[in-house]
Structure 1
Amino acid sequence: MSDDWWDVPGNPYAPSLAEPPAGPEVPDSASPKSGPQRQDEDDLCTPYATAEGLALEAASAALVRLDCGLAASSPAVAAGWINRMAIEEAAASARLNGILVDTADLRLLAWDSLDRAPDPDLAQALPLYDLVRRITARHPRHLYTPRRLAALDRIRHSRSPGFSLWSDAEEDVGAEQRWAVLQAALAPDALARFRAAPALVGAAAFLAHWHEVGADRSAGAALGRLLAAWWPARQGLVQGRRGGQDMVEGSDTYDGPTHPAYAGGPVLMPSIGFLGHAMDYRPDRRDGWLSAYLMAAGRSVARGEALLRRLRAAEGGLAEALRPRRSTSRGPQVAAFLLSQPVVTSGRLAQALDMSGTAARSLLDALHRDHLLMEISGRDAYRAYIVE
């Protein structure tokens, strides 16, 4: 992204202000001021003057509020939130790439519960979910240098054949070209300019820069969106990680997303905010991009807040239904597992908690009859459930 992006007339988010030209002194009341200035400095309730300033203030406050809500939630609720939002982010990111998939089908496919062969669109969206799941399991400080980002691809290739960090990159891009573009996209001077801006403005600028240098083609547009999702955590606006009871001290990764204690990942999921507003996703255009990104961030956070409220309500209902009646009861463990998993089957529940298949099926059927679980597979056998 060129330097003059920050110098667009009226842009209140330039990281540095140019020195005023020499001339006669002007009274403070008459001197021009840049940035989201209030009309009356003595009135803290006076709204900011620009639409972008209002959108920035609203989206930033909502993002911090959601982050505090996740931090105050139980590990199972936080894990369930990130697991469900990761699926929605993957489906929304696929749509921005021109791949139309149903979120429910992607959820079933990603968690081995789809009873049919996936169609070509679903098969293309599944690597994007894998990308979201693995990137959200990293610490943000290990994602913004070309060498560490490329190393993540090599490590995952050796541990999980079939995974590629460049899942939606163009096929005709060579390794040398990708490396050169990554160096340009993650250049320290560019990142320094973005860090000088408010967190969400820096995220929008980073994504615009990612497209301008061609990293969307050589490394993938989805990867750029995920790096932008981590930017508020990198800037300290929200927490970078929330440790569960199995967090390894000093580790740069979180517990696996399938683990009930998994509670890491970014709070902002930018692709979700463009659902129904795909025409606004134009980071390659300067005009209107900042406003579009801030509005999308607000919509994404609102969706995340609604999901968190539903999970907290479900937690109360499950706690009441599974209240321990004896010391050996597994009710709390069952409730935590159901909340943390986006899809639950009797086989997975029985394996995770060392139960018999018959007991697991009976328990899930009872919770379904009490309307605490929703059946999503539409099958008479091998049914799949979700907590929403």
Structure 2
Amino acid sequence: MKRAPLNSYASLGAAFSRETDDLAVGVCRLDARLAASGLADGWQNRCDINEAFMAIQSEGFLVDLTDLVLHDGNLNKRAPTNELVRASSILRAYRVARQRPAPWPLTKRGLASLAGGLSSKEFAEETPPPATTERKRKDEDFDAFSDQFAEIDALIERTGRVLRGEVAASRNRTLLAGTPDEKQFEAEDRWFSVLSDLERLPAVQAAAFGWQAWRELGVHDGQPWLGLIIASSILRSRGLTESTLPLAAAYRKAGYRGRQLISKEMAVGTFCELLTEALRLANSDLSTLSLHRDLMAPKLAGRRKGSKLNDLVDLFLSRPIVTMPLAREHLKVTPHAVKCMFDELGPSLPRELTQRSRYRAWGII
């Protein structure tokens, strides 16, 4: 892909300027609705889970949504499949991208963390020094295991930093199948060069061209969902929204599949189509959550602030699917207490999805 000058991007986006302006207003209105509703955190968590579910499906893998929710809550009923672990890593990437400051995913270090360590060679990996322990002995006894414990503590600390997204996972390039080569690094550098050319474009147009260039250059081609996270991050970095929009779900709904290439001339129009569908899905889900919260609200009237029933309602509003074990683990109560709370909600209890006697699940859909 040849580097296009700024006036080329500006001329291509000019034909869609009115549509992109309307979509920018729509994104701001969604943000205002989320802030006013008090459901922003629950909506975003549901969105992240659904995005990971849709993203793994776009790659051609089949993962059950219930398994993903239970795996996220460390409540696996069986050994997780490779597809489930991959979906979980996608979910982690969505959460890390949202929890860090908006420009961070658009940096080489941020991109490395989101990609799981398979990224630019230009930054130095931050490896914390091995933990040292000051040995204070009252006698001359030597603890033969102190060095091993120190290494374990250091490993736990490094693992925690990777899981929090503070640093990219350290990997041995010679032992990893599919490790990016020099062409991958060059593609990434060229994409960052394109990104710098988009700085003066409107937010929606910049996200559209950034996403299109990402796909055309084949940056992290084995992780096609990452391009949609980057597109959302561009919108966030421009101050247009604080949320990660459901672009992966919109991509599926719009009928696009896999790594289908999109020309630069079609970039803005295609992205506008995705963003329109994403806003429709987001507003629809927010309206559904508001309706169910209003239905369950009378059951919470007069209860103390720390009531477990309040926590159960919050759980329903933040997960696409809730099972009895998930509610028990989240609320830290007995199964009988969960059943009593379900009975207490009565007709306002969200819809049961499985209709089975042994394995039951409820959710707001």
Establish whether TM, by shorter chain, passes 0.5.
yes
1:175 shift after superposition: 6.4
Of the three residues 211, 221, 225, the one matched with 2:224 is 221
Residue correspondence of structure 1 range 372-387 to structure 2 within 5 A: 372-381=349-358, 383-387=360-364
Say if 1:90 and 1:129, in contact at 8 Å, map to a contact too: yes
Q: Which residue of 1 aligns with 2:43?
A: 81
1:2 alignment partner, SS class: coil
Q: Which residue of 2 aligns with 1:359?
A: 337
| Alpha-carbon spacing, 1:5–1:221, altered in 2? closer, same or farther (3 Å) | farther
Q: Deviations over 1:45-89 (max 9, x none)?
A: xxxxx4x33432332222111111111122xx2122111111221
| TM-score normalised per structure 2 | 0.72
Q: Deviations over 1:13-62 (max 9, x none)?
A: 3xxxxxxxxxxxxxxxxxxxxx4xxxxxxxxxxxxxx4x33432332222
1:114 shift after superposition: 6.6
Q: Which residue of 2 aligns with 1:60?
A: 24
Say if 2:23 and 2:272, in contact at 8 Å, map to a contact too: yes
1:228 shift after superposition: 0.9
Say if 1:64 and 1:238, in contact at 8 Å, map to a contact too: yes
Structure 2: tracts of 5 or more residues without a match: 118-125, 127-156, 171-175
Tell me whether 227-236 or 287-296 shows the greater mean CA deviation.
Answer: 287-296
Say if 2:10 and 2:201, in contact at 8 Å, map to a contact too: no
Counterparts of 1:327 and 1:235, CA distance in 2: 38
1:238 alignment partner, SS class: coil
1:110 shift after superposition: 4.2
| Alpha-carbon spacing, 1:347–1:230, altered in 2? closer, same or farther (3 Å) | same
Q: Which residue of 1 aligns with 2:248?
A: 271
Q: Which amino acid aligns with 2:57?
A: R
Aligned residue pairs: how many?
Answer: 317
Counterparts of 2:228 and 2:305, CA distance in 1: 47
1:197 shift after superposition: 1.0
| Alpha-carbon spacing, 1:353–1:118, altered in 2? closer, same or farther (3 Å) | closer
Q: Which amino acid aligns with 2:35?
A: A
Q: Say if 2:144 is the partner of 1:182.
A: no
Q: Which residue of 2 aligns with 1:253?
A: none
1:350 shift after superposition: 3.7
Counterparts of 1:228 and 1:327, CA distance in 2: 39
Q: Which amino acid aligns with 2:208?
A: A
2:60 alignment partner, SS class: coil
Q: Which residue of 2 aligns with 1:306?
A: 284
| Alpha-carbon spacing, 1:7–1:165, altered in 2? closer, same or farther (3 Å) | farther
Counterparts of 2:317 and 2:339, CA distance in 1: 17
Task: Provide the identity percentage.
Answer: 23
Counterparts of 2:9 and 2:257, CA distance in 1: 25
1:143 shift after superposition: 1.4
Say if 2:106 and 2:233, in contact at 8 Å, map to a contact too: no
Counterparts of 1:373 and 1:387, CA distance in 2: 6
Residue correspondence of structure 1 range 227-306 to structure 2 within 5 A: 227-239=230-242, 266-276=243-253, 277-278=255-256, 282-306=260-284
Q: Which amino acid aligns with 2:246?
A: M
Q: Which residue of 1 aligns with 2:205?
A: 201
1:312 alignment partner, SS class: helix
Counterparts of 2:305 and 2:230, CA distance in 1: 45
Q: Which residue of 1 aligns with 2:52?
A: 90
| Alpha-carbon spacing, 1:101–1:157, altered in 2? closer, same or farther (3 Å) | farther
Q: Deviations over 1:155-185 (max 9, x none)?
A: 8982368x9889xxx9423466554443332
Q: Which amino acid aligns with 2:159?
A: S
| Alpha-carbon spacing, 1:145–1:299, altered in 2? closer, same or farther (3 Å) | same
Counterparts of 2:10 and 2:104, CA distance in 1: 35
| Alpha-carbon spacing, 1:92–1:334, altered in 2? closer, same or farther (3 Å) | closer
Counterparts of 1:344 and 1:355, CA distance in 2: 15
Q: Deviations over 1:345-375 (max 9, x none)?
A: 34443444443331112212443x4142222
| Alpha-carbon spacing, 1:55–1:326, altered in 2? closer, same or farther (3 Å) | closer
Q: Which residue of 2 aligns with 1:158?
A: 159
1:385 alignment partner, SS class: strand
1:215 alignment partner, SS class: coil
| TM-score normalised per structure 1 | 0.69
Q: Which residue of 2 aligns with 1:255?
A: none
Structure 1: tracts of 5 or more residues without a match: 14-34, 36-49, 240-265
Aligned alpha-carbon RMSD (Å): 3.6
1:147 alignment partner, SS class: helix
| Alpha-carbon spacing, 1:365–1:345, altered in 2? closer, same or farther (3 Å) | farther
Say if 1:113 and 1:384, in contact at 8 Å, map to a contact too: no
Say if 1:94 and 1:101, in contact at 8 Å, map to a contact too: yes
| Alpha-carbon spacing, 1:339–1:298, altered in 2? closer, same or farther (3 Å) | same
Counterparts of 2:310 and 2:86, CA distance in 1: 37
Q: Which residue of 2 aligns with 1:11?
A: 11
Counterparts of 1:330 and 1:299, CA distance in 2: 36
2:288 alignment partner, SS class: helix
Q: Which amino acid aligns with 2:188?
A: L
1:137 shift after superposition: 2.7
Q: Deviations over 1:246-301 (max 9, x none)?
A: xxxxxxxxxxxxxxxxxxxx332222212232159745422423211111111011
Counterparts of 1:323 and 1:283, CA distance in 2: 53
1:2 shift after superposition: 3.5
